[in-house]
Every structure is written in structure tokens, then in C-alpha cells.
Structure 1
Amino acid sequence: MIIDFHTHCFTDELASSAIPVLAQKANIPAFANGTVSALKESMKKYNITFSVVLNIATKPSQTETINNWAAEIQKDSIIAFGSIHPKYKNWENELMRIKGLGLKGIKFHPEYQAFYVDDEAMYPIYEKAFELGLIVVFHAGVDLGYKPPVHCTPDRLDKLVRNFKGGTLVAAHMGGFRYWDDVEKYLVGKDIYFDTSFCLGYMTKEQKQRIIQSHGYKKIVFGSDSPWKNQGEEVQRIKALCLEKDAEEAILYNNAAELLKL
């Protein structure tokens, strides 16, 4: 069994316009059309048991609508996360509503949402999310569609790990896309999960294996970043690492299943 902890979808109406724009901005191809139905087709083709759809409110006004849609699509093999925009004023009630909707976590994208991950103005939001038992996922490191400065770097994430003990943090892209040396310096061995989304084809095999070994395979969850990567190819990248059976099964399914309480 396989859980893809990092995917993205749009409404059918929005996908046809959003995917080409995002692909052009980041200069990357899309491997699916960005709809929930396309994700389900991919899951069936590549034997993915569950996919976590990570939603992002890029404007404060989108927050409630996105969370409603997340609750709407969460069924069967789809597990959807909500989102809070940093400038959304009613964040405390919305976090409680997210919990009430049955969503298991929230996603922040510090580039799309234009905030530094360690900005102390965000701390009350994080604290409430963790109090509610929500998983908090961050886009970490470079986003190919954005110029510097990078808003979520390993040293900034390290501040959160030290300030929010006991909360479930997940840093996407193996702790920070194109910041993997800093991941090894600041985050490896700390109480934070990494997902493997998008980055496996950019890292050396040696660094991938070293981070998994040093950080501990029980703190790594598989993610593809579909539609920006092919789910089947990303599964094969994990298998190509030739990990011990227990480690491979943990990364592909067991760790995420435990986080999601499946």
C-alpha cells in the first residue's frame, strides 16, 4: 500500500486555467490536468491507496471557500488538508471549523502567501493548530516560480521545531528544496517530518540516503507533488534507493498512516 502525502488539485472549472499558468511560471510540465478525477485515475494506474490533497489559500478571501472545497472532496481515497491565509483575521474560528470538518491538517506556502515561516506573528496560529491536533505542512525551500528571498529555509524551520515541541510539523521537499545541505545542518534528527515531493530527481542518491539514515526513516513520508510529478515515477525513485524493506514500507505507507490515524 502507498500513501502520497503531497498532491494538489483544483476545481474542474479552475484547473484548466490554473495549471498552464503555474506550469509556465515555474517552467515545469504538468503530468495531469489538476482535477480530482485525474488524480484518482493516476492513483488507480500506480496503485496509490490514499492521496493527501494540499490546498493553499493565496488570498485571505479564499480561506473559507478552499476549506469548504477540501471537505467536499475528502472521501474514499482522498484526504484533503485545509489552509489558513496569514492575513485572514478570523483564523482561530476557522481552525476550529477545519477541525470540525474532519480535515486532518493545514498547508502553508510561505512563497505564495508572502510570509516568513518564523515570523512570530504566526505563532498564535501555529499554537492553535497544534492544540487542535492538526498536522501543519510547509512548502520548504525554493519554489521554482518565485525569485529570492526564500521564506521557508531550514534555519527558520529549526526555530519552529524548538518553539513548538509536540506539534506535528512536515517540511515538504525533503526539508527544503535546494537547501539540502542546510537541512542536514539544521533539521536532521529533529522532531520534524520531511516529505519526498518533487525533490528526488534533483538530489544525489548519496544525499537522499544520508538524510534518510541520519534523520531516521520513521520521520520521512512519501510525496509526489502531483500533478507536477508523475506518481508512478516518484514511487520508483523511492524503490531505487534500495532501502531495507521496513524503511521502504514506512516511507511509502506506514509513517503517513500513523500521522493520519488511518
Structure 2
Amino acid sequence: MTAAIDVDRIAALDVHTHAEVSARGHASLDAGLHAASSAYFKVQGERKPTLQETAAYYRERNMAAVVFTVDAESATGTRPVPNEEVAEAAAANPDVLIPFASIDPFRGRAGVRQARRLVEEHGVRGFKFHPSIQGFFPDDRLAYGLYEVIEETGTIALFHTGQTGIGAGVPGGGGIRLKYSHPMCVDDVAADFPQLKIILAHPSFPWQDEALAVATHKPGVHIDLSGWSPKYFPPQLVKYANSLLKDKVLFGSDFPVLTPDRWLADFAELPIKDEVRPAILKENAARLLGLTRS
């Protein structure tokens, strides 16, 4: 499926938004983890927009957004929002939504078959991995079948990196281990799949320098800036975004826990070069996603 997004028209392209609740009513996080993450991000009010509400939200702001669920059922016991539901919502709102999927690596061969079907039959453009919640190292061979499909189909692998707000403040972090989201584990993936398009999600605290090294060294690796207000970005991230990685850094918010309104207001205050700003806000992502101009 070809996206109908008008790149010239939109003001920004958000590559990191979450589908947290299904139209059938169930949420992708249990109540405890959901409440803890809302507290961590200081979310005001209810935080469970439907996919249709997300589409309307971005349309109102003249933006487009990549949207995905997180499938970590093996580790958490919680069913994800169905990938097919995300894809159907994007198909119904092709001017604003771009569908990514998420498949628990522990689904094995069934997950690999599902990945191919989601691309071929539902127009999915990428896959979200959250190693800390899913409980696997990205360079573990159990995920390599998924990477083979993603590379072969020209879609994108997006990896959560660094600390996560999910489980923060819960005793034992809710059992979620930060070690799985070290960006150097993704370096092995980039080396083993040289044509794979990869996004390292978030400023990768406490491994920011490692993430910058991987993105500088591996041509297929990009960085999205989601999950943090730009006023808290490490200085070296801003420096690289303005220079060596100016074509590989992408706007992402982490909606609904961090809104694009807040993110963009703080981003406007960063010392980003005038010629780099539009690249970060939409041009780099449009190129990576293969969006065509009208």
C-alpha cells in the first residue's frame, strides 16, 4: 500500500506514537505499568486515545505519524493491540497514519510468518521492538528470522534503546530489565543485516555516546528523538544532530505520554541550524519511509 501522505503539506512527521488501547477495549499495558508510566511522564488526565482519535489529533495539527503497538505477551501476559487493527486504522486514515507492527520475538516461526503477512497483506511499513519489555537482547538469534523478513521487504526495524518509563517507580521496575536495550546490541544486528533500515528510538540514556557511534558507523542506522523533552537532550546529541547525523535524526514524540505540542515547543528553543530543522522534523523520515512527493 502506498501512503497518501502529502509530504509538502504536512508540518512534521512523528515517527514514534503508540496505540495503547484496542477498539475492543483492552489496553497494551496492565493497569499498574500504565499508571506508573503516566506518573513518570507526568501525564495529565486520561491517556488512552483510540486510533481514530490519534488520527484526528494529528490531522488537526497538520502532521503525520507512525503508529504501533508493542507485543510483549510472552513476558507480560498482556495481549497487545492487534497489529491488524493498527493497519486498518492507518488504511482508513492514510493522510495521517503510517502503520508499523510489533511481533514478540518469542513467537518464533509463527511470528516470522505473521511479519511477512502483515507487510504483504496489510501494508505495514516497519516493526517496533522493545527489548526491555519483551525480555530479549536484539542480537539474540531468536529474532533473526524477523530481521530477515524486515530486510527483505525493505521495511524498518525500530528498537527502543536506553532507559524506559515503563516500570519506573514500580518495585523491581516491574521486572523490566534495562540491560536489554543497550544500543550496542543493535550494532550487531546492523552488521549482520547490512541492508536493514534501523531506527534507535529515544536519546539512549545512559548510553548516548554508544548510540551516536552506532548511527555514525552503520549507514542504515538512524536515531529518533522521542520520549524526552528536547530541553533535556544531552549536548553531544544536539551537536551530532547538527552535523554528522543531520540526515539521520528523526522527530518522534512518544505520544500519548509526550505530546508533539510539548516536544515541538521545546525543540524550537534548541540551537538547531535552520537548514537542519526541516530535515529532522520531516524530510529525513519521509526519505527513510520512501514517501513520494505529490
Quick check: TM above 0.5? yes
The change in CA–CA distance for 1:115 and 1:3 in structure 2 (over 3 A counts) is same
Shift of 1:41: 4.2
SS of residue paired to 2:163: coil
Q: Identify the match of residue 160 of structure 1 among 183, 186, 189.
A: 189
Given that 2:72 and 2:80 are in contact with CA atoms closer than 8 Å, whether structure 1 keeps it comes out as no
Larger mean Cα displacement after TM superposition, 188-197 or 62-71: 62-71
Q: How has the CA–CA distance of structure 1 residues 141 and 92 changed in structure 2, closer, same or farther, with 3 Å as cutoff?
A: same
1:179 matched to 2:200? The reply is no
Amino acid at match of 2:35: Q
Instruction: Report the Cα distance in structure 2 between the residues aligned to 1:163 and 1:19, rounded to whole angstroms.
Output: 35
Amino acid at match of 1:83: S
Cα distance in 2 between the residues matched to 1:72 and 1:195: 25
Which residue matches 2:119?
A: 99
Name 2:290's counterpart in structure 1.
Answer: 261
CA distance in 2, matches of 1:104, 1:17: 21
Amino acid corresponding to residue 72 of structure 2 in structure 1: T
Aligned to 2:105: 86
Q: Which residue matches 2:82?
A: 66
1:183 deviates by: 2.3
SS at match of 1:150: helix
* 1:7 partner amino acid: T
User: What is the number of residues matched between the two proteins?
Assistant: 260
Pair 19,261 (structure 1): closer, same or farther in 2 beyond 3 Å: farther
Give the aligned partner of residue 50 of structure 2: 35
Q: Write the deviation string for residues 19-47 of structure 1: whole angstroms up to 9, x where unpaired.
A: 86444233323364332243234324533
Residue 57 of structure 1 corresponds to: 71
TM-score scaled to structure 2, two decimals?
Answer: 0.78
Residues 3 and 15 (structure 1 numbering): CA distance in 2 closer, same or farther, change over 3 Å?
Answer: farther
Decide whether the 8 Å contact of 1:52 with 1:80 is kept in 2. yes
Give the counterpart of 1:125 among 128, 137, 146.
146
The separation in 1 between residues aligned to 2:81 and 2:273, in whole angstroms, is 43
SS, match of residue 199 in structure 2? strand
Match for 1:109: what amino acid? Answer: H
Q: In the TM superposition, what is the alpha-carbon distance from 1:79 to its structure 2 partner?
A: 1.1
**TM-score normalised by length of structure 1:** 0.87
Structure 1 residue 124 displacement after superposition: 2.3
Q: Distance in 1 between matches of 2:192 and 2:97?
A: 32
Moved more, 230-239 or 32-41: 32-41
Rounded Cα–Cα distance in structure 2 between residues aligned with 1:40 and 1:19 = 24
Structure 1 residues 89-98 or 165-174, which shifts more? 89-98
* 1:120 positional shift: 2.1
Counterpart Cα distance in 2 of 1:154 and 1:4: 21
Among 234, 237, 240, the alignment partner of 1:211 is 240
User: Runs of 5+ in structure 1 lacking a partner?
Assistant: none
